[in-house]
Amino acid sequence: MATRATSVSQRLRALALYKELHRLGREYEPSYGFHGKLRKLYDKNRNLTDEEEIEKAIKFGEYIKNETLALYSLRKYRHLKRMYPPNPTSDP
């Protein structure tokens, strides 16, 4: 019964991660094809049955989420940097 509960919890985690990545992808550059690549990854791993392999795929999805969030932070920083004129007293 523990494996059934584990597989259900992994399924719920995978679905929650998919929804979160899908939401993040809406804000990402549309020409990159984020949603298509996300869908292909999930379709490729849909038939996994080994709990370790499922956990590995979830960890990879969380890595992608963190990398996407880091790219957002960089994009916001670069935008703010462009909004202000360069400081003439600082070194180039």
Structural domain includes residue 51: yes
The answer to whether 21 and 68 have CB atoms below 8 angstroms apart is yes
Domain assignment present for 54: yes
Does residue 69 fall inside a structural domain?
yes
- pLDDT tens-digit profile of 19-53? 999 998 887 766 578 888 899 999 999 898 899 99
Residue 4 lies in a domain: no
57 vs 18: CA distance, rounded Å = 12
Residue 68 lies in a domain: yes
With a cut of 50, say whether residue 1 has pLDDT above it.
no
Residue 89 included in any domain: no
Is the model's pTM score more than 0.75? no
In a domain, 86, yes or no: no
Across the chain, the runs of DSSP E, i.e. the strands, are none
Across the range 45-67, mean pLDDT stands at 92
Split into its structural domains, the chain has a count of 1
Residue 28 is part of which domain span? 14-80
Residue 20 lies in a domain: yes
Give pairs for 18-21: CB < 8 Å, separation 24+. Answer: 18/42, 18/61, 20/65, 21/61, 21/64, 21/65, 21/68
CA distance 56 to 31: 28
